[in-house]
Structure 1
Amino acid sequence: MERRLTLDRCRQVFDLLSYPITREDAGRVLGHVTLQYADGEEPFPAAVERTPSDRFESADDLELELFMSLPIAAVGEPGQSEGDA
């Protein structure tokens, strides 16, 4: 069953994985997940494929590497911050 996740909900799913886990295994296990971005969506396996490491030691590692590899537009408009007038 396909599951759509916003970026702020990814950690809940990452915490369910057993670590260490390879990039390939993470993509396989979460192959049913589609990440929802500010500017669209992408299957999790395609997103995790861009990460520099081929193995993650923890959910923290996976989350950090995935978020660092996302295009800026995926998380919102460049130069915008909440609360600034």
Structure 2
Amino acid sequence: MTRQVKLNELTALLETATYPLSVATARTEFNDVQLVYADGSESLPTVLDRINDEQFDSPDEAQSSIYNTIPVEGVGEPGQSEGEG
């Protein structure tokens, strides 16, 4: 079963993992997660495939790397509040 995770819920999801966390382990651990964007969705493992880091030392580091990789269109229009609705 696929877990649908909005971007404003990503921190809570990442905090469930044990750190340091390799990107390869993150792909496996979160293989059922679909990130829900403002304009669609994408699987978290697909996003992790675009990350050049080998491991994350904390949930904050993982979130930052993921946010730097997702498409700008995914977070909505400039000035739009994330997660409303």
Structure 2 portions without partners, runs of 5+: none
Report the Cα offset of residue 44 of structure 1. 0.7
Deviation string, structure 1 residues 6-30 (Cα, Å, up to 9, x no partner): 0000111100100011111101100
Which gives a bigger RCO, structure 1 or 2 (Cα 8 Å, sep 6+)?
2
Report the counterpart of residue 33 of structure 1 in structure 2: 33
Deviation string, structure 1 residues 20-45 (Cα, Å, up to 9, x no partner): 11111101100011000011100110
Aligned positions, number: 81
Report the counterpart of residue 66 of structure 1 in structure 2: 66
Q: Which amino acid aligns with 1:4?
A: Q
Tell me the distance in 1 between the aligned counterparts of 2:58 and 2:41. 24
Tell me the distance in 2 between the aligned counterparts of 1:25 and 1:49. 12
SS of the residue corresponding to residue 36 of structure 1 reads: strand
SS of the residue corresponding to residue 69 of structure 1 reads: coil
TM-score in terms of structure 1 length: 0.88
Tell me the distance in 1 between the aligned counterparts of 2:56 and 2:14. 11
Q: Which amino acid aligns with 1:81?
A: G
Q: In angstroms, what is the RMSD of aligned CA positions?
A: 1.3
- Stretches (4+) displaced over 6 A: none
Report the counterpart of residue 79 of structure 2 in structure 1: 81
Deviation string, structure 1 residues 41-61 (Cα, Å, up to 9, x no partner): 001100111122121001011
Structure 1 portions without partners, runs of 5+: none
Structure having the higher Rg: 1
TM-score in terms of structure 2 length: 0.88
Determine what percentage of the aligned residue pairs are the same residue. Answer: 27
Report the counterpart of residue 42 of structure 1 in structure 2: 42
